[in-house]
Amino acid sequence: MKGENKREITILAVDDNPTDLKLIERALVSGGYKLITAKDGEEAVKIARVHKPDLILMDILMPKMSGYTACLEIKKDPKTKDIPIIMLTALGQELHRGLAKNIEAAGYIVKPINVKDLYNSVNEFLQSH
């Protein structure tokens, strides 16, 4: 999306795995996106309220607060309820996809992270919304 952005697009990546955060950073920062990171759902909710990112990539299984709970918290807050959240997780079963849809997640990407595929998925999502 280099050169296509009229303004800088900010993405909040939430994952307790530092390796996954590095891969997300590699995929998105080189593509021209501004990236903010959080290590758990509790931190994600706080950051979302302060920075109001354009998109959130949220892991599900994390300490302190799961991605599901963080998503619910973000969606019930009038200040953050319109931020799209894509669940980014190793949990690929249909049950988890259904749960993500029920809590108003905008999308679902299954790990392991492929840098090019992640960039393309995020780029396509942002262009369609």
* 3 assigned to some structural domain: no
Which residues span the domain enclosing 34? 10-128
What confidence score (pLDDT) does residue 7 get?
67
* 77 assigned to some structural domain: yes
What confidence score (pLDDT) does residue 92 get?
67
pLDDT in tens, 23-81: 999 889 988 999 999 999 999 999 999 999 999 999 999 999 999 999 999 999 999 99
pLDDT in tens, 14-27: 999 999 999 999 88
Split into its structural domains, the chain has a count of: 1
* 19 assigned to some structural domain: yes
Residue 57, phi then psi, degrees to nearest 5: -105, 115
Is-contact 11 55, C-beta < 8 A?
Answer: yes
Q: Which CATH number covers residue 83? A: 3.40.50.2300
pTM of the predicted model, to two decimals?
0.88
| Token duo for residue 19 | 């390796």
Residue 72, phi then psi, degrees to nearest 5: -60, -45
